[in-house]
Every structure is written in structure tokens, then in C-alpha cells.
Structure 1
Amino acid sequence: MRTARTRLRLAGALATVLVAAGVATGPAAQAGQAPPTLAELAQRHGRYFGSATDNPELTDEPYTALLGSEFGQITPGNGMKWYATEPQQGVFDFTQGDEIVNLARAHRQKVRGHTLVWHSQLPDWLTSRDWTAAELRAVLKKHIQTEVRHYRGKVFAWDVVNEAFNEDGTYRETVFYKTLGPGYIADALRWAHQADPRVKLYLNDYNIEAIGPKSDAYYQLAKELKAKGVPLHGIGFQAHLALQYGYPDTLEDNLRRFSRLGLDTSLTEVDVRMQLPATEEKLAQQAEWYRELTEACLAVRRCVGITIWDYTDKYSWIPAFFPGEGAALPWDEQLRPKPAYYAIREALS
């Protein structure tokens, strides 16, 4: 029985590879129909499958063609962050975010807003002076509400607060935490909800895929926020993984425990990096991880979608931040699909 299942799985994988390569494998192919995209396959499960992108890449036509056709959702990598949207106090500039929203709308793709409150990529005017609690509260509220109102009806979800905890589950000592205390998180969610009552509001972080001190801190916080009636709708698991650190085996259980709190979850910034050079063996292991991530999300009803952190190694953030590492995404630098792409297709099929 196991052997038969394995044969079927291999046959399915081979058919997927052949279809993607343009080889006829059945009546649909003979009729000249294109194989379904990742977006279409995910939609059959009631999920989305998306990619991040960034404004400098949008002049690359082969890249944008694939971005517009393969994915059902887009996240702006940088264009909605504070340094881009409020470069001077009280002076807002939504040019970069608008460009990506318009691109997504032209391809009927959903947009995830990213990110309203984060300790990184803040403008100098915010980080170069000391604030009283009253001053910073006013600044924070104005920033959140101005941006959320601008994108009201154009994004389906917001990463409201990004990376609020340290690895050990203590609060990260950000300018917001040090000046306002932990209550800034509840305030940020309330202010965002006032500005757009329909948008889904998330907390988002990395290294929370497995059950452990950091994800436990989010679990406790989420329970407290829900008990107080704070508008929190989901938790974003960034899922920046690395082969050398091992796969988060408790991912599915972790997704499930948040769903039992009445929260959606999503995998928001997925990539699986490796120490270079990439070998056939590492690419096969990477493919298996992408398959397992996808299957974990499909197994939990309230895991609503998966977003890879850009889709091609050509535009990956990894090499600049982790020297000697890379090859983290399902398409290579020439926009050719890698084993990871076929593993995702197989999981979604």
C-alpha cells in the first residue's frame, strides 16, 4: 500500500514537472491549456499563495510578468514601511506603496500591508531625539491612522506590529516599548481598527514557527489581547528558515494552537536559505521543507495563506544580510523554477 502511494506521489510529481516544462501529459495539455498557477492551486484550498516584491524590481519586465501571473497576493517589501511613508514628521508619501497596490489591482491580486510599527527602518526624525510618552503616542497614532486610512479598502490585512519580542520571549527594547511600555501593541491595534474596521490586523515575527519561548510569548499576549477585546485577528509567522538550523517540526501544532484562540495565521515572509554553494542535495532538502511548510498550512483551517519573501534568488535579501548564504527561493536568478517550486505545486495539488 505504502509502495503504491509512493509510486502515485512520484508519478504526480513527474507529471507536474512535465506540465510545467510544457510537455503534454493529458487531455488538458493536449487542448493547449496552461497548467494552473500556484495562486489557482492554493485557491482550490481556500488559501492564497503570494510573493513579496519591491519597487526597484518593477522595471524588470520578465520578473513582473511572472509576479503578475503566478501569485494571488503581493506584499510590498519596503514601500509601506515608516521611513518610506513618513520621511519627515507629518509629511506622508505613499508613492511606493501605491505603485505596488496599483500593480496588484491590475492583476487582481490581494495586498498585505507591511508594516505599521517596527523598530527598524525608522526615519531619522523619529530615532534621533527623545520623546515623552504623550508625544510619541500622538506620533504613533497619527502615523498608523494616516497610513491605514490611505489604504482602506485596498489591503486585506496589516502587519500592525512587527518583531515585538526577543528570542527568550521578553519584550524587545524598542523606542516604542521603552517610551510607552507594552501597552503600545494594544493601542496600535485599536488605532488601526478605528481607521479601517474591516481590515485583518496581525502581529508578525520570525523564529516563532516552532513552539518555544518566543512563540509562547505571542500566544500569551494574544490570549490577553483577546480577553480584553483588543482587535487582533491573526499571527504572521515569517518563516525565514535556514537548512543548517533544522526544520521547525512543531509548526503545524503551533498554527493549530493559535487557531484555537480564534485567530487566523499565515506564513508571511517565507524563504529557506542555505550555505553556498547550492548542491543538488541541499536543493532537494529545501524542496522538502517548502513542501512541509505548505502542507502544514493546508492542514490547519485557519492558516489562510503563504507568502514567499520575493520569489526569485535574483532579488533575495539573504546574500546581503547573511554573507555566504543564499539560494533561498523557489526560482533561481534566471527566473527558472527550482525543485522547491515543484514541491510547492505538488503539495498544493
Structure 2
Amino acid sequence: MRLFSVAALAALPLINAAPTELATRNGQHKTQGLNDLARKAGLLYFGTAIDNPSLNNSKYMSIATDSHIFGQVTPANGQKWMYIEPERNVFDYSMGDAIIRPAIQHGQLRRCHNLVWHSQLPDWLTGTNYTKSELISILENHIAHEVKHYYGQCYAWDVVNEALNEDGTLRSDLWLTTIGPEYLELAFEFAAKYVSPGTKLYYNDYNIETINNKSLAVVSLIKSFKKKGIRIDGVGLQSHFTAGSSPSYDQQVANMAQFTSLDVEVAITELDVRVNLPDDATKEAQQASDYANAVKACKDTDGCVGVTVWDFYDPFSWVPGVFAGQGDADLWWGNFTMKPAYYSVAEVLEE
């Protein structure tokens, strides 16, 4: 049985008795969105990331803010350090608020992302040689201000993002070089100190969706934190996959189990499945299968609380700008029709 905090359950939107008709497939009307289906399947939410440039697209936003479809929202960029603290001790929450406030208005949970990362840092932070004590002070100050601003507004925070190399060693970055390995512990301690009661504290990373050196390093991190009494509540599995080479259902279930056995929850936090372009019906079918395997693994794992797709609409996907020759990674085509992957996810949730 899935056990969720009272605060989390109270924050969930109610499912209306007569949900809007959302799609038609083979003449059969689909009257429930993915979040409705996820909730009925025992998950806490099915959600999406939203980035600020999409806010002016009214059709996109009508889908993104529909709590039948998406019961949880993640700001894709608006809460990252370069936007939140563009100058030292000068804070700007406008981009984050532009995503969080509509989600609150529409009864959607919020996963807040992120507090500590090696990327998207402002020049004032990366261009100065701070001492260890100075950087620790800057780290605490940033975390304190940001989590206080969003006090009571976040189901979870991705406290530390992508701290590991593929071999399981710590990534060489500003934090490791200046503070040392203890920066991870400090980040979680600072977050726990200032965050609102009941907010979950997550470690989030990619390529930790199977049992491998990187995911085993996360296991070691959790064990170390637990031994030292440092609070960590969850692991975020980013799950940026490629159609045809995604982890199997069995691999994902086994991997989730190694985390949940340590008394932390897991969530799929950034799911998308890119294809090698040009797309075709065979690739669409493979993509649909890969999406379904990931969602089914979460649904079938006690302790996996939900799934977030890293946007749902192909024109706003990050993939083409990063992976040359790949794309079409999301659940909706550019003409706002749903892909086979959407229906495969819905069918898995209905099983």
C-alpha cells in the first residue's frame, strides 16, 4: 500500500464527477486524463515540466494547467540559480512564480527544481575564487532565501542535481573543488533547516534508472546520509531515454527497489523518449512501448510516488537543441494531437 503524508494528500486536486472529454481513439472516447488515471492506479500524481517561454501559448497552457491531465508541475528552468539569484544576494522569483502560482490556482502539486547544480550558475558565482567558508555561506544563504520564498508551496525540492559522474565518482565542479564532498551533506542539511514541514528532499540525476555504478553511488550516498542522521526523502530518476535503447521494465523495477528498500521514495522526474529522426510508425511504436515500461515500473513499485514528463509538447522539447538528429520526444505532436505514447501510458495506468 502507498502511504502519503497528510499534507500531500490535502494538496491534491479533487477529481470532478464529469471530467472533460480529452481524446478519441478508434472511436472510443477517453474521458480521463493521465493524472486521473494515475491517481486511480495508486500514484500521487502524473505531472509535467513547464518552461517560461510556453506561458504565452494559450492552447498549450489549457492542457498544462488541466489537473485531470497533469496533477503536478515542475518549473523547467525558472527556479535555477542563474534566474533566482542573478546578482549576489539579489533575488528574483518572477520566473519561478510564473510557473508555481498557476499550478497552485489549478490545484496541481509542485516539484521544485533545483537548489544545487553544477550548471546554469550566474557569472558572479563562477567568476570569483571564493574561500571554502565563503562559498558555504553563499550556499546556505541561497537555499534559505529560495525555500523560504516557496515555503509551503512545494511537494518536493530537488536539493542536489546531477552530482555524479557515470562511474559513480563525484563530478568535478565549483562545489566539489571549493567545499569538498561535504557540500552534498551541507546542501541537504540547509534545505532541511529552512524548508516547510512535510516537503520532500530529493537527490535527482540521469542514468540512474538501472543498477549501475552511478545508481549504486546514490545508494551509498543515501546510506551515508542515513548513518549520519542527514535527512533525504527521495531519489529522482530523470529518465531521459532513447527509443529502442531504454531500460526494460524489469531493470527499472529492480533499480527502484534498491532505493525504496532504504526507506526513501522514488519518482520519475524528467521522462521523455527521443527518437532518431525522421520519425516513422515503427519508431512511434517503440517510443510508446518505452514510455509504457517506465510508467508501469513506477505504478508497480510501492514507494514510487509519481511520473513527470519533461514537457509534453514537441515544439517546446529541449531534445533537438542538445541531441543533433533526434527529437519527437514528447507525448503530443506539434499540432496538439496525442501520440501513440500517450495512449500506451493511459493503457498501462488503466491495467
TM-score normalized with structure 2 length: 0.90
Q: Distance in 1 between matches of 2:336 and 2:99?
A: 20
Q: Distance in 2 between matches of 1:283 and 1:302?
A: 30
Pairwise mapping of residues 1-349 of structure 1 onto structure 2 (< 5 A)? 20-21=23-24, 25=28, 35-47=31-43, 48-69=45-66, 70-196=69-195, 197-243=197-243, 245-248=245-248, 249-349=250-350
Shifted more, 244-253 versus 310-319: the winner is 244-253
Deviation at 1:45, TM superposition (A): 2.5
Deviation at 1:59, TM superposition (A): 0.5
Q: Distance in 2 between matches of 1:129 and 1:195?
A: 27
AA of the residue aligned to 1:346:
E
Q: CA RMSD in A?
A: 1.5
Deviation at 1:247, TM superposition (A): 2.6
Q: Distance in 1 between matches of 2:290 and 2:270?
A: 14
In structure 2, the partner of 1:8 is: none
Q: Determine what percentage of the aligned residue pairs are the same residue.
A: 44
AA of the residue aligned to 2:302:
R
Q: Distance in 2 between matches of 1:55 and 1:156?
A: 20
In structure 1, the partner of 2:15 is: none
Q: Which runs of 5 or more residues in structure 1 are unaligned? A: 1-17
Aligned residues of 1:233 and 1:264 also touching (Cα < 8 A) = yes
Q: Higher Cα Rg: structure 1 or 2?
A: 1
Aligned residues of 2:244 and 2:290 also touching (Cα < 8 A) = no
AA of the residue aligned to 2:133:
A
Shifted more, 247-256 versus 144-153: the winner is 247-256
In structure 1, the partner of 2:17 is: none
Deviation at 1:20, TM superposition (A): 2.4
Q: Distance in 2 between matches of 1:82 and 1:241?
A: 26
The CA deviation string for residues 295-348 of structure 1, in whole angstroms up to 9 with x for no partner, is: 100111100000000001110000001111001011111111000000000011
Q: Distance in 2 between matches of 1:24 and 1:244?
A: 29
SS for the counterpart of 2:151 is coil
Q: Distance in 2 between matches of 1:296 and 1:178?
A: 37
Q: Which runs of 5 or more residues in structure 2 are unaligned? A: 1-20
Aligned residues of 2:22 and 2:33 also touching (Cα < 8 A) = no
Deviation at 1:140, TM superposition (A): 0.3
Structure with greater helix percent:
1
